[in-house]
Amino acid sequence: MIEIKIPSPGESISEVEIANWFVADGDIVEKDQEIAEIESDKATLTLIADEGGKIKIMAQEGDTVAVGSVACSIDTSFAGEASASSAPKEAKKEEVPAEKKAPAVVAASKSTNSETYKDVKISPIAKKLMEENHLSVDDVIAGIQRLSKKDIQAVVSNPGSQAAIPAQSKSISREVKRTKMSNLRKKLATRLVSVKNETAMLTTFNEVDMSAVMALRSKYQKKFVETHDIKLGFMSFFTKAASEALQLHPAVNSMMDGEEIISPEYTDIAIAVQTPKGLMVPVIRNIETLGLAEIEKELMNLANKARSGKISLDEMTGGTFTITNGGVFGSLLSTPIINPPQSGILGMHNIVERPVAVNGKVEIRPMMYIALSYDHRVIDGKDSVGFLVKIKEMIENPQKMLFGGKDPDSLLLGI
C-alpha cells in the first residue's frame, strides 16, 4: 500500500483544492496514470499514480487539503489487473454503436431519390449523410410533424425557395446554476481588486498601421515555416518591440518594492493566455536575447502547457512586463489591468481596416488600437507615451527592431 500525497505548487502555498478526480474510488490504475487535478491560487497541477493498483480516495472533489496530506492510497497487489480491466471496457464501447445503428437499417429499403418528393433539392453533404444512414426523402419529410403558417408564407413570399423545416419550440427555464469559485479564480479576483485600490493606474492609447508586419508575414511565411518549423504570428513582433522599447524606457520595466523602485536590466515578458481554468500569464525570459522564431516557439510551448494544466509555478513568476491580446476575441479597445507587482501592461486589439490619412491622401489600412495601462507612482506620462510611440514606430517599421528601436538611416549618418 502506497500513499499519494499533495505536492507543493510553490513557496508560500500551504493548501490546495481537489479540483477533479479522473478515476473513481476502487478503480484499477496504471503506473504514471493521471488520477486527479489540484488547484492552488496560482497554478493547476496533476496528480500522477506512482505505481499501478487499486485506488482508495481520501479527499473528495472540492475539498481544501493541506500540502503534504494524503490524497489517496494505492494497493499495489492489484497492479496486474490494470491492463486486464481495460479490455472489457473497450469491448463494451464497441457494442453500443452497433445497437444504435440497428434501427436505421430497417429504413434501407427506400431509395434516397424518392419519386414522391422528386423536386426536393438535396445538398451533396445531406445526400451523403442520408445514404450512410439508409434514409430516403420520405423518411426525412415524415419527421416533420406539421407545416406552420410561417412555412407557407415563406414559400409564397419567395416562390423559388424551399420551405424551411419548422424550428423546435424552446422550453422556458427559470433555473439558476451555481458553481463554486476555484482557488485560482478567487485569487485572480482578489488581485484585480487590489490593483484598482492600491495603484494609481492610468491608460494611454495609440494606433498602429499593421501594413508592414502583415506584408512581411505574407511574403516570408512559407520560408519562415520551412526554416523554423513554426508559423510567424503577430505576438512575436509586439513582444520583441516591447522588449526594445522597455530598454529605451526602463521606468516602464520597473516596479515598487516598499520605498524602493527596482529596475531590471533584462526583459522577462509575461503573455496572458486564456485557459479552461482562467487567465494565466506564463513568462518568456530574456526577450532581448531572442529572435522572432525563438519567441514564437517559447510562446507556443508555454501556452500549450498552460492550457493543458502542465505549467509550473516557476514558469508564471518573475515577469517584468505583461502583454495581453484581446484582439483574438474581437476586442476593438480596452483598458487592461496591471499584473502586480509589475507597473505596466500592453493591450493589443483587433485589426480593422479603416480609412486613414497617408501623405495627404485617404487610404484604407489595417489598423490596431494599442493601450498601455501603467502605475503612475512609478511611470511618468513622458515615459508611458514615449514607450507606446516606440512600439508604434517599430511595428510600422519592423527593421528598427534590429537597431534597438532607432532609425537605421540616423545610425548610418551618425545623427
Q: How far apart, in whole angstroms, are the C-alpha atoms of residue 55 and residue 356?
A: 65
388: closest CA among 204, 253, 264?
A: 204
How many other C-beta atoms lie within 10 A of the C-beta of residue 277? Answer: 18
Q: How far apart, in whole angstroms, are the C-alpha atoms of residue 85 and residue 83?
A: 6
C-alpha cell at 137: 426523402
Q: How far apart, in whole angstroms, are the C-alpha atoms of residue 253 and residue 261?
A: 10
How many other C-beta atoms lie within 10 A of the C-beta of residue 394? Answer: 27
**Annotated catalytic residue 376:** yes
Whether the Cβ atoms of residue 185 and residue 278 lie closer than 8 Å to each other: yes
C-alpha cell at 162: 424551399
H or E segment to which residue 399 belongs: none
Q: How far apart, in whole angstroms, are the C-alpha atoms of residue 339 and residue 331?
A: 19
Angle between helices 292-308 and 211-228 (to 10 degrees): 80
Is the Cα dihedral 356, 359, 362, 363 positive or negative? Answer: negative
Among residues 25, 63, 314, 376, the one annotated as catalytic is 376
Strand partners, 352: 367
**Annotated catalytic residue 349:** no
3-state secondary structure of 30: coil
Q: Grid cell 493591450 — which residue?
A: 347
Contacts of 175 by beta carbon, 8 Å cutoff, 6+ apart: none
- Classify residue 257 by its DSSP letter: E
Give the max Cα distance, the chain.
87
Whether the Cβ atoms of residue 231 and residue 221 lie closer than 8 Å to each other: yes
Helical spans, DSSP H, in 164-207: 183-198
Among residues 380, 383, 407, 409, the one annotated as catalytic is 380
Whether the Cβ atoms of residue 374 and residue 344 lie closer than 8 Å to each other: yes
Positions marked active-site: 376, 380
